[in-house]
Amino acid sequence: MKRDFISMLDLTQDEIHQIFELSNTLKTSLKKGVAHKVLSDKTLAMIFEKPSLRTRVTFETGMTQLGGHAIYLAPTDARLGTRETIADGAKNLSRWVDVIMARVFAHKTVEDLAKNSSIPVINGLSDLEHPCQIMADLFTVIEKKGSLDGVVIAYVGDGNNVCNSFIAAARILGFQLRIATPPGYEPAGHYLEQTNTVSLSGDPRVAIQDADIIYTDVWASMGQEKEAAQRREIFLPFQINRSLLESATRDFLVMHCLPAHRGEEITDAVIDGPESIVFDQAENRLHVQKAIMTWLIERS
- The pLDDT tens digits for 152-173 are 999 999 999 999 999 999 999 9
What percent of the chain shows pLDDT beyond 90? 91
Cβ burial, residue 64 (10 Å; 0-12/13-18/19+): middle
Q: What are the backbone angles phi and psi of residue 162, rounded to the nearest 5°? A: -65, -45
**Considering only CA atoms, which of 100, 111, 28 is closest in space to residue 65?**
28
Given a cut of 90, whether residue 195 has pLDDT beyond it is no
Determine the average pLDDT of the residues in 248-271.
Answer: 97
DSSP tally for the chain: helices H, then strands E: 12, 9
Given a cut of 80, whether residue 201 has pLDDT beyond it is yes
pLDDT category, 124, cuts 50, 70, 90?
very high
- Which of the two residues, 250 and 103, has the higher pLDDT score? 103
Given a cut of 80, whether residue 194 has pLDDT beyond it is no
Superfamily of domain 132-281: Aspartate/ornithine carbamoyltransferase (3.40.50.1370)
Cβ burial, residue 205 (10 Å; 0-12/13-18/19+): middle
Residues 104 and 49 sit within 8 Å (Cβ to Cβ): yes
pLDDT category, 227, cuts 50, 70, 90?
confident
Superfamily of domain 8-130+284-298: Aspartate/ornithine carbamoyltransferase (3.40.50.1370)
Residues 129 and 7 sit within 8 Å (Cβ to Cβ): yes
**Considering only CA atoms, which of 288, 260, 291 is closest in space to residue 276?**
260
Q: What is the DSSP-derived secondary structure letter of residue 198?
A: E
The pLDDT, as a whole number, for residue 282 is 98
**For the chain, domain boundaries:** 8-130+284-298, 132-281
Given a cut of 90, whether residue 177 has pLDDT beyond it is yes
The pLDDT, as a whole number, for residue 79 is 86
Residues 162 and 54 sit within 8 Å (Cβ to Cβ): no
The residues annotated as belonging to the active site are: 103, 130, 133, 217, 257, 285
The pLDDT, as a whole number, for residue 221 is 80
Residues 66 and 36 sit within 8 Å (Cβ to Cβ): yes
The reply to whether 8-130+284-298 and 132-281 are identical in fold is yes
CA dihedral 80, 86, 91, 97 (to 10 degrees): 50
What's the pLDDT tens digit per position in 59-87? 999 999 999 999 999 999 988 888 899 99
